[in-house]
Amino acid sequence: MAFIPDTQQAPRFVPDEVVTLASSNYSGPAIQENPVWQSNAGNAAFGKPRMVDRTNVQAQPRPLESALAGMTKSVVDPLVAGAQLATGGNLGTSKLAQNLDKQADVYYNENPMSYIAGRVGGAVAPASAVTKGAGMIPSFARANPMVQGAALGATSGLMTPTNTGETGSELYQNVGQNVALGTALGGAIPAVGQLSSMLRGKQPSPQMVDAITKARDLGYVIPPTQANPSALNRFMEGVAGKISTAQNASAKNQEITNKLAAKSLGLAEDAVITPQVLSDLRTVAGQSYDKLGNIGVIMPNKSYYDQLDNIKKPFVATQQSFPNQTPSPVINLVNSLKTEFFDSGSAVEKIKQLRTQADDAFRTGNTELGRAAKQTANALENAIEDHLSSTKQTDLLSKFREARQLIAKTYSIEKAANATTGTIDAKKLAAQLQRGKPLSGELKDIAQFSQAFPKASQTTEAMGSLPQLSPLDYAAGLIGGVSTGGAGAGAILARPALRAVALSSPVQNRLIPSTAAPFLTPEQRNLARLLTLQGVQGATNE
């Protein structure tokens, strides 16, 4: 049997007869006889051997055989490592250890994928034993991923056999190196993960994710720490100025709020909403009410009477407990509307009177009567809707509902608007929603945004002027100029620049950390670490 070197393929052993027949035409390097076998007896890495003797091995081992060989190697390695330590390395020179490594190298060379799969499968048992033994680890260590990783790495170092032929102090020195390397790498892996997690921040709650997504879809911007208080975001806002960043965000968001409010009323996005504009809208919407005067007699159903009873119920209960007190005007108002039938035209007129009465009551501070007048007007409107629905007057019903919604929106916006500037206060809409006001569409979107991010929904009037360079910015520039030898201008602009970065699209579009599910379970990650550490340690033994 002779060794044939080949620069294109792996070294090969061929029968002597072939060499003899080809020797007369061979002009290359001299053929080597009895080559030295180069092997790493306990190498846990998956590296390819330098030479492979195929004398007694099939030309192409089946995948199952290679997988079984890899599995056997992973199972035997910890046993070999323990025996090496117990015998001072004498086992490493045994014929059994050399043959095991020799056969493993051959199977890996012929079918590496199957062999590696077997290696992983064979490592499951010892790795599981290590990870399941966590109950024996003190609680402080179990709570610290870095301590767990270091312990796993140290165990990996002990489970990794050393080179064939090492004995005595040389063996123990290499084992110590393996343990030290495994401990360092095992502790570093989770440390890097923790640092990355701290910089990226925790995953927000589903409710916050939904609020951030809706806000961004509407065009709002959010100070990064309000959406995700990660270390990176806190640092960025800390340098840029947390208050200034929130004020700049509010200034941008005020434009979005005004546009959404105008859109909810069917106006152009750049329309300025004034009291006169709202009054004109009510007049137009009221024309749909006027058309209801000809639909005839309405006989209200039980729902109408139930609504009226609920309006006066607390006042009736008080009157029964204190019969000598003056009856609340709310009781008389509700009772005056209890009738078996009414004309549609009269009902429309009564609705107008009730709304006027409500405005007057609120203006004079009689909130109970004002609220009751609005509620009774709504009860009448609901009775008209029920009548239109039961009589299949769908066109009138649709227009009536649109008119009701538009009028209701004008009142909601009027309460949240600055009558002089036309600015819409998102916080006031949020307060209406909190009180149970049935906001819808764009107005509900505005209110929900303000509820989730109140610091980013301040009105421009409340903030006053918004200078982009504050005395603090100039102070930072002065200090920076002294410390850097004249780069003061750059330092002055650093804080405003960071504010712009914090509210820029690249940062805003990444406020929600990745929600991808972990690729591996904790047990699988421990196994992956163990195999990685074994591979690194094995490579150092080459």
pLDDT tens per residue across span 394-446? 888 888 889 889 999 999 999 999 988 889 999 999 999 998 888 989 999 99
Longest dimension (CA), the chain: 134
CB atoms within 10 A of CB 174: 22
DSSP letter at 514 equals: P
Mean pLDDT score, 507-516: 73
Q: What is the pLDDT of residue 40?
A: 40
Establish how many alpha carbons lie within 13 A of residue 226's alpha carbon, considering only the half-sphere containing its beta carbon.
25
Q: What is the DSSP letter of 469?
A: S
Mean pLDDT of all residues in the chain? 73
Across residues 213-231, what is the average pLDDT?
A: 89
Predicted confidence band at 112 (pLDDT cuts at 50, 70, 90)? confident
Q: What is the secondary structure of 169-184 as a DSSP string? A: HHHHHHHHHHHHHHHH
Q: Which one is predicted more confidently, 512 or 410?
A: 410
Give 1's contacts (C-beta < 8 A, 6+ positions apart): 13, 14, 15, 16, 55
Reply yes or no on whether the pLDDT at 499 is more than 90.
no
- Residue-wise pLDDT tens digits, 171-197: 566 666 666 766 766 656 555 555 445
pLDDT of amino acid 332: 93
Cβ neighbourhood burial of 500 (10 Å; 0-12, 13-18, 19+): middle
CB 446 within 8 A of CB 261: yes
Q: When comparing pLDDT for 468 and 444, which is higher?
A: 444
Neighbours of 305 (CB within 10 A): 15
pLDDT of residue 380: 94
pLDDT given for residue 518 in this prediction: 46
2, β-bridge pairs: 14, 33
pLDDT of residue 264 exceeding 90, the answer is: yes
The SS3 of residue 2 is strand
Residue scoring higher pLDDT (534 or 309): 309
Task: List the beta bridge partners of residue 14.
Answer: 2
Distance CA 460, CA 248 (A): 10
Question: Coil, strand, or helix at residue 13?
Answer: strand
Write the pLDDT tens digit of every residue in 37-87: 444 433 434 434 444 444 444 455 567 777 777 777 766 776 676 666 666
Q: Length of the chain in residues, anyone? A: 542
Find tokens 């709570």 and name the residue.
143
- Indicate whether 477 pLDDT > 80: no
Can you say whether the dihedral through the CA atoms of 514, 517, 520, 526 is positive or negative? positive
pLDDT, average across residues 194-222 = 78
The answer to whether 95 touches 45, Cβ cutoff 8 Å, is no
Who contacts 150 (Cβ-Cβ below 8 Å, separation ≥6)? Answer: 183, 184, 186, 187
Query: Can you say whether the dihedral through the CA atoms of 292, 296, 302, 308 is positive or negative?
Result: positive
Cα 468 to the center of its chain, rounded Å: 32
Backbone angles phi, psi at 94, to 5 degrees: -75, 155
User: What's the average model confidence in pLDDT over 160-167?
Assistant: 58
Instruction: Read off the amino acid at residue 213.
Output: T
Residue with tokens 């000598």: 324
540 has pLDDT over 60? no
Higher pLDDT, 539 or 85: 85
CA dist 76 and 96 (Å) reads 11
**Half-sphere exposure of residue 118: CA atoms within 13 angstroms, side-chain side:** 22
Domain spans, the chain: 1-34, 36-198+527-540, 255-463
pLDDT in tens, 16-39: 444 444 444 444 444 444 444 444
Mean pLDDT throughout 468-488? 51
